[in-house]
Amino acid sequence: MGSDVTMQCGSLDNDASVSWKVNGTDVKAQHRLEGPRLILTQVDLSHNGLYSCFQNPHGERRDTILLHIGIPPREPTVTCRSNTYPKGFYCSWHQLHSTYIPTTFEVDVQHNQRSLEVQKDSVHKNRCHVRFPEVFSSFPYKVNVTAVNALGKAFSTISFEESSIVKPDPPERVTATPIRFNPRRLEVSWHSPATWPDIDNFPLKYFLRYRPLIREQWQHVELSDSTSHTITDAYAGKEYIIQVAAKDTEIGTWSDWSVAVHATPWIEDPLPITSTTEVDFPTETKTSPIPSSNAPQKAEPPVGRAARVLTFFSPLLLGMLLLFMWSMHVC
């Protein structure tokens, strides 16, 4: 990129007259012709393409050239880490700047003056895996990664002690549960990372951090090999964010933080509200029998209480009146 490119049309003589096309169209980029040669100046990515040359005057095609513009590789950035200690470690690398053309990488790992077997990762193309030849080795490891493409090569070399690259993956399945009748407590539990192969012989310790969403400052608790902890100083009724990290108890560095979980301490349920609304009791309703005739029914006049009393005492009054009149007649 940025240089001049000269393309020769086959083996034609210097005095041959030719014309050029790129991707089937005339060459419009800045260029010049010198006999059977096409010279492009200060090329960039826009010059990529399939160039064809044709001999004049009949226009017979003599050659095709596929042009890729790129840059030589630079020293790759290399890092190594063991998340499966003491089983092995992996190394990964990348270019800080794209080369724009295919670039491959060659990896060599040395330990105690011998080369170790390197296994390429099936998913990550810029990663390889190496098994530890021994544990608690005092000899350093030396990793060389060389980047190679059609324009050149460059390499990087790093050295490290076994203990310095041990870094577990974050703890998994972190949960936080409120404790009933305890408005300031949260029960937090988690599992060790599944990639850590021997938790019994190579135990992990843990680092817990938590804070309410209303504050920016974290509170921290370092634990030995326990996979649970009870938070006792939570703010009542406030939502908390909680994360956990892991580390080998003796060597290496802390893992990244686990996926954050959210939880709120136990909140007492409010007392039910008692209703004071007056209750209407249902009343019994009697229905009259359906008349057999469609004719309107004559309504009976209502009988009052006085009428009912008079009706009850009428025979008695009549008897007393007749007795009185008979006595007057006798006299």
Distance CA 49, CA 22 (A): 6
Q: Kindly state the tokens that stand for 231.
A: 């938070």
Identify the pLDDT of residue 328: 56
Identify the pLDDT of residue 269: 80
Q: 181, 192, 191, 231: which is closest to 211 by C-alpha?
A: 231
Identify the pLDDT of residue 133: 95
Distance CA 106, CA 128 (A): 10
Identify the pLDDT of residue 57: 84
When computed from its CA atoms, the radius of gyration of the chain, rounded to whole angstroms, is 49
Which position has the token pair 């974050």? 170
For 98-112, letters b (16+ CB in 10 Å) and e give ebbbebebebebbbe
Question: What is the fold of 77-164?
Answer: Immunoglobulin-like (2.60.40)
Identify the pLDDT of residue 305: 41
Identify the pLDDT of residue 272: 76
Indicate the CATH number of 172-263 among 2.40.240.20, 2.50.20.10, 2.40.110.10, 2.60.40.10. Answer: 2.60.40.10
Distance CA 117, CA 124 (A): 18
pLDDT tens digits in sequence order for the chain, 331 residues long: 999 999 999 999 999 999 999 999 999 999 999 999 999 999 999 999 999 999 988 889 999 999 999 999 999 999 999 999 999 999 999 999 999 999 999 999 999 999 999 999 999 999 999 999 999 999 999 999 999 999 999 999 999 999 999 999 999 999 999 999 999 999 999 999 999 999 999 999 999 999 999 999 999 999 998 999 999 999 999 999 999 999 999 999 999 999 999 999 999 887 677 655 544 444 443 333 333 333 333 334 344 444 443 444 455 555 555 565 545 554 4
Identify the pLDDT of residue 309: 39
Distance CA 65, CA 23 (A): 11
Q: Kindly state the tokens that stand for 54.
A: 């044709």
Amino acid occupying residue 162: E
Identify the pLDDT of residue 11: 92
Identify the pLDDT of residue 58: 85
| Ranges in the chain annotated CATH 2.60.40.10 | 77-164, 172-263
Distance CA 231, CA 248 (A): 23
